[in-house]
């Protein structure tokens, strides 16, 4: 269940690839994120300290039946992503929201920049992370992506 949240403040960073845009801001020990893509299906962003899919902290979101659904996940192996609680982690997502308008899906959420929980990564300002950006034409999180990009970004 998502709670309404105001959009993140003016981003301190923005990257785009494959039609997907990720904007972020560091505020009070949190990373406030916005991801949007040209789809009416799900959108996703993943954070990892190393290149590759395994171990990626994945946040997926879709707009289903008039409501935003945002899921905190981890990639166990390529093709196998699970809710973070199912692998012993604890979701620390907050301020989740989403919209679907004019063929574009957008999700917003907040994560702490550091945590000791399994499946999380160092997201402090100035840290270099490997990003996974993706979207699908379907709302179901087990549906394959239409577009997936990998970028190295300094937060």
Q: What is the pLDDT of residues 64-100, one digit of tens each?
A: 999 999 999 999 998 899 998 898 888 899 999 999 9
Residue with tokens 């300094």: 154
pLDDT of residue 114: 87
More confident call, 1 vs 40: 40
pLDDT of residue 127: 93
pLDDT of residue 3: 46
Distances from the Cα of 68 to the Cαs of 96, 125, 139, in angstroms? 8, 28, 11
The Cα 49–Cα 42 span in angstroms is 24
User: Under a CB-based contact definition with an 8 Å cutoff, are residues 114 and 106 in contact?
Assistant: no
The Cα 123–Cα 25 span in angstroms is 11
Distances from the Cα of 103 to the Cαs of 42, 119, 137, in angstroms? 12, 31, 10
């Amino acid at each position: 269940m998502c709670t309404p949240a105001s959009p993140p403040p003016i981003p301190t960073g923005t990257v785009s690839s494959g039609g997907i845009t990720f904007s972020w801001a560091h505020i009070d020990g949190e990373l406030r994120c916005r991801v949007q893509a040209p789809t009416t299906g799900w959108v996703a962003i993943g954070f990892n300290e190393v290149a590759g899919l395994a171990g990626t902290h994945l946040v997926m979101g879709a707009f289903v039946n008039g409501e935003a659904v945002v899921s905190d996940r981890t990639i166990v192996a390529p093709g196998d992503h699970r809710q973070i609680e199912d692998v012993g982690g604890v979701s620390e997502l907050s301020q989740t929201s989403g919209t679907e308008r004019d063929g574009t899906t957008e999700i917003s959420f907040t994560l702490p920049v550091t945590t000791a929980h399994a499946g999380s990564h160092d997201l402090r300002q100035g840290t270099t992370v490997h990003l996974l950006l993706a979207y699908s034409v379907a709302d179901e999180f087990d549906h394959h992506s239409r577009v997936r990009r990998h970028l190295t970004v300094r937060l």
